[in-house]
Chain A
Protein backbone atom coordinates (compact mmCIF):
# COMPACT_ATOMS: atom_id res chain seq x y z
CA UNK A 1 0.00 0.00 0.00
CA UNK A 2 1.43 3.36 -1.00
CA UNK A 3 1.96 5.85 1.79
CA UNK A 4 1.22 9.56 2.00
CA UNK A 5 3.07 11.33 -0.80
CA UNK A 6 4.29 14.90 -0.50
CA UNK A 7 6.14 17.17 -2.87
CA UNK A 8 8.48 18.86 -3.11
CA UNK A 9 10.77 17.43 -0.40
CA UNK A 10 12.74 20.65 -0.09
CA UNK A 11 12.04 24.26 -1.01
CA UNK A 12 14.05 27.44 -0.52
CA UNK A 13 12.39 30.78 -1.20
CA UNK A 14 12.94 34.40 -0.37
CA UNK A 15 10.69 36.18 2.10
CA UNK A 16 7.57 37.69 0.56
CA UNK A 17 7.53 35.05 -2.17
CA UNK A 18 4.76 32.49 -2.43
CA UNK A 19 5.05 28.71 -2.22
CA UNK A 20 2.75 25.72 -2.52
CA UNK A 21 2.99 22.19 -1.18
CA UNK A 22 1.15 19.17 -2.46
CA UNK A 23 -0.11 16.10 -0.65
CA UNK A 24 -1.64 12.87 -1.93
CA UNK A 25 -3.11 10.84 0.94
CA UNK A 26 -3.45 7.10 1.19
CA UNK A 27 -6.18 5.88 -1.10
CA UNK A 28 -9.55 5.82 0.62
CA UNK A 29 -8.55 7.99 3.56
CA UNK A 30 -11.26 10.55 4.15
CA UNK A 31 -9.38 12.68 6.65
CA UNK A 32 -6.34 14.76 5.76
CA UNK A 33 -4.20 16.94 8.02
CA UNK A 34 -1.49 19.53 7.53
CA UNK A 35 1.00 20.03 10.36
CA UNK A 36 3.79 22.56 10.74
CA UNK A 37 6.93 21.37 12.52
CA UNK A 38 9.39 24.09 13.42
CA UNK A 39 12.92 22.88 14.15
CA UNK A 40 13.19 21.59 17.69
CA UNK A 41 9.42 21.54 18.28
CA UNK A 42 6.60 19.06 17.96
CA UNK A 43 4.24 19.26 14.99
CA UNK A 44 1.38 21.73 15.22
CA UNK A 45 -1.92 21.06 13.48
CA UNK A 46 -2.71 23.72 10.89
CA UNK A 47 -5.83 22.34 9.26
CA UNK A 48 -7.92 19.18 9.13
CA UNK A 49 -10.15 18.14 6.23
CA UNK A 50 -12.90 15.55 6.26
CA UNK A 51 -13.37 14.68 2.58
CA UNK A 52 -13.32 18.13 0.98
CA UNK A 53 -14.69 20.03 3.97
CA UNK A 54 -12.68 21.82 6.65
CA UNK A 55 -13.11 20.35 10.15
CA UNK A 56 -10.68 22.60 11.98
CA UNK A 57 -8.46 25.46 10.82
CA UNK A 58 -8.23 27.37 14.06
CA UNK A 59 -4.43 27.41 14.03
CA UNK A 60 -4.02 28.30 10.36
CA UNK A 61 -2.69 31.86 9.89
CA UNK A 62 -5.35 32.74 7.38
CA UNK A 63 -3.84 36.06 6.41
CA UNK A 64 -1.06 34.22 4.58
CA UNK A 65 -1.84 30.50 4.60
CA UNK A 66 -4.52 28.78 2.58
CA UNK A 67 -5.35 25.15 1.94
CA UNK A 68 -7.76 23.28 -0.24
CA UNK A 69 -8.75 19.72 -0.90
CA UNK A 70 -10.67 19.67 -4.12
CA UNK A 71 -12.61 16.47 -4.82
CA UNK A 72 -11.71 15.16 -1.39
CA UNK A 73 -8.41 13.57 -2.42
CA UNK A 74 -5.25 15.61 -3.04
CA UNK A 75 -4.56 18.74 -1.07
CA UNK A 76 -2.42 21.83 -1.50
CA UNK A 77 -1.14 24.18 1.18
CA UNK A 78 -0.08 27.65 0.08
CA UNK A 79 1.82 30.42 1.79
CA UNK A 80 1.65 33.92 0.36
CA UNK A 81 3.66 35.94 1.22
CA UNK A 82 6.17 33.87 3.16
CA UNK A 83 7.92 35.14 6.27
CA UNK A 84 11.18 34.01 7.82
CA UNK A 85 9.29 32.36 10.70
CA UNK A 86 7.50 30.08 8.23
CA UNK A 87 10.70 28.05 7.87
CA UNK A 88 9.65 24.60 8.99
CA UNK A 89 8.79 21.10 7.85
CA UNK A 90 5.23 20.83 6.62
CA UNK A 91 3.81 17.39 7.25
CA UNK A 92 0.75 15.93 5.65
CA UNK A 93 -1.10 13.03 7.27
CA UNK A 94 -4.20 11.02 6.49
CA UNK A 95 -6.49 8.63 8.29
CA UNK A 96 -9.63 6.67 7.52
CA UNK A 97 -11.65 9.31 9.28
CA UNK A 98 -13.58 7.35 11.83
CA UNK A 99 -14.53 9.63 14.66
CA UNK A 100 -15.45 6.95 17.15
CA UNK A 101 -12.33 5.72 18.81
CA UNK A 102 -9.12 6.71 17.16
CA UNK A 103 -7.64 5.53 13.93
CA UNK A 104 -4.01 5.79 13.07
CA UNK A 105 -2.83 8.84 11.18
CA UNK A 106 -0.18 8.06 8.58
CA UNK A 107 2.37 10.78 7.93
CA UNK A 108 4.23 11.72 4.79
CA UNK A 109 7.94 12.54 4.78
CA UNK A 110 7.24 16.25 4.79
CA UNK A 111 8.37 19.29 2.85
CA UNK A 112 11.22 21.24 4.38
CA UNK A 113 10.74 24.93 3.69
CA UNK A 114 13.54 27.43 4.19
CA UNK A 115 12.68 31.13 3.88
CA UNK A 116 15.70 33.39 3.43
Chain B
Protein backbone atom coordinates (compact mmCIF):
# COMPACT_ATOMS: atom_id res chain seq x y z
CA UNK B 1 0.00 0.00 0.00
CA UNK B 2 1.15 3.50 -0.75
CA UNK B 3 0.19 6.93 0.45
CA UNK B 4 1.34 10.50 0.06
CA UNK B 5 1.08 13.35 2.53
CA UNK B 6 1.52 16.93 1.46
CA UNK B 7 2.09 19.22 4.42
CA UNK B 8 0.27 22.50 4.00
CA UNK B 9 -2.76 22.76 1.75
CA UNK B 10 -1.88 26.40 1.07
CA UNK B 11 1.54 28.02 0.80
CA UNK B 12 2.08 31.72 0.18
CA UNK B 13 5.41 33.23 -0.86
CA UNK B 14 6.55 36.56 -2.19
CA UNK B 15 7.77 36.89 -5.75
CA UNK B 16 11.48 36.11 -5.80
CA UNK B 17 11.38 34.08 -2.60
CA UNK B 18 12.22 30.42 -2.18
CA UNK B 19 9.45 27.95 -2.88
CA UNK B 20 9.34 24.81 -0.72
CA UNK B 21 6.46 22.36 -1.04
CA UNK B 22 6.64 19.34 1.23
CA UNK B 23 5.83 15.74 0.34
CA UNK B 24 6.23 12.62 2.43
CA UNK B 25 5.38 9.17 1.19
CA UNK B 26 4.73 5.73 2.53
CA UNK B 27 5.48 2.71 0.40
CA UNK B 28 6.28 -0.94 1.03
CA UNK B 29 8.67 -1.00 -1.93
CA UNK B 30 11.06 1.62 -3.31
CA UNK B 31 8.69 3.90 -5.17
CA UNK B 32 8.70 6.15 -8.15
CA UNK B 33 7.81 9.71 -7.18
CA UNK B 34 6.32 12.56 -9.17
CA UNK B 35 5.35 16.19 -8.90
CA UNK B 36 2.51 17.52 -11.06
CA UNK B 37 1.22 21.05 -11.47
CA UNK B 38 -2.37 21.98 -12.21
CA UNK B 39 -3.41 25.42 -13.40
CA UNK B 40 -7.06 26.47 -13.04
CA UNK B 41 -9.40 24.50 -15.29
CA UNK B 42 -6.51 22.56 -16.75
CA UNK B 43 -5.29 19.00 -16.55
CA UNK B 44 -2.16 17.97 -14.69
CA UNK B 45 1.28 18.59 -16.14
CA UNK B 46 4.34 16.63 -15.06
CA UNK B 47 7.01 18.80 -13.42
CA UNK B 48 9.53 16.09 -12.62
CA UNK B 49 9.89 12.47 -11.61
CA UNK B 50 12.21 10.24 -9.61
CA UNK B 51 12.66 6.70 -10.91
CA UNK B 52 15.60 5.38 -8.87
CA UNK B 53 18.37 7.19 -10.70
CA UNK B 54 19.85 10.45 -9.35
CA UNK B 55 18.27 11.50 -6.06
CA UNK B 56 18.25 15.19 -7.05
CA UNK B 57 15.84 15.60 -9.90
CA UNK B 58 15.54 18.71 -12.02
CA UNK B 59 12.29 19.49 -13.77
CA UNK B 60 10.68 22.13 -15.88
CA UNK B 61 10.25 25.80 -14.99
CA UNK B 62 13.24 25.78 -12.62
CA UNK B 63 11.78 23.31 -10.13
CA UNK B 64 13.75 20.51 -8.54
CA UNK B 65 13.16 17.85 -5.90
CA UNK B 66 15.37 15.63 -3.80
CA UNK B 67 14.53 12.06 -2.89
CA UNK B 68 15.54 11.33 0.71
CA UNK B 69 14.93 7.71 1.55
CA UNK B 70 15.83 8.10 5.23
CA UNK B 71 13.19 10.82 5.61
CA UNK B 72 10.71 9.27 3.12
CA UNK B 73 10.47 12.71 1.58
CA UNK B 74 10.42 14.24 -1.89
CA UNK B 75 10.13 17.98 -1.32
CA UNK B 76 9.77 20.36 -4.27
CA UNK B 77 11.83 23.55 -4.39
CA UNK B 78 12.44 26.53 -6.62
CA UNK B 79 14.99 29.22 -5.72
CA UNK B 80 12.93 32.19 -6.87
CA UNK B 81 9.15 32.25 -7.24
CA UNK B 82 7.46 33.87 -10.23
CA UNK B 83 3.88 35.03 -10.39
CA UNK B 84 3.28 32.41 -13.06
CA UNK B 85 4.10 29.65 -10.53
CA UNK B 86 0.78 30.20 -8.76
CA UNK B 87 -1.06 26.90 -9.16
CA UNK B 88 -1.96 23.66 -7.40
CA UNK B 89 0.88 21.18 -6.95
CA UNK B 90 0.43 17.46 -6.43
CA UNK B 91 2.93 14.91 -5.26
CA UNK B 92 2.31 11.34 -6.39
CA UNK B 93 3.80 7.89 -5.89
CA UNK B 94 3.66 4.71 -7.91
CA UNK B 95 5.17 1.28 -7.47
CA UNK B 96 8.15 0.65 -9.72
CA UNK B 97 7.39 -1.16 -12.95
CA UNK B 98 3.70 -0.39 -12.57
CA UNK B 99 3.28 2.07 -15.37
CA UNK B 100 1.59 5.16 -14.01
CA UNK B 101 -0.74 3.77 -11.34
CA UNK B 102 -0.40 6.97 -9.37
CA UNK B 103 -1.50 7.66 -5.82
CA UNK B 104 -1.77 11.41 -5.32
CA UNK B 105 -1.44 13.59 -2.27
CA UNK B 106 -4.10 16.11 -1.41
CA UNK B 107 -2.34 18.96 -3.17
CA UNK B 108 -0.79 22.26 -2.14
CA UNK B 109 -2.03 25.54 -3.54
CA UNK B 110 0.86 27.91 -4.10
CA UNK B 111 0.09 31.62 -3.98
CA UNK B 112 2.72 34.15 -5.09
CA UNK B 113 2.46 37.69 -3.79
CA UNK B 114 3.87 40.59 -5.79
Contacts and interface: CB of A to CB of B under 8 A. Distances in A.
Contacts of A42: 4, 90, 92, 104-107
Tell me if A's interface is mostly helix, strand, loop or mixed.
loop
Tell me if B's interface is mostly helix, strand, loop or mixed.
loop
B99 A97 contact: yes
B83 interface: no
Contacts of B44: 43, 91, 93, 107
Interface of B: 4, 9, 32, 36, 41-46, 49, 51, 90, 92, 94, 96-107
Nearest 10 CB-CB pairs, A to B?
A: A42-B104, A107-B43, A105-B100, A107-B44, A102-B32, A109-B43, A102-B51, A43-B104, A104-B46, A95-B100
Interface of A: 4, 31, 33, 40-45, 48, 50, 55-56, 91, 93, 95, 97-110
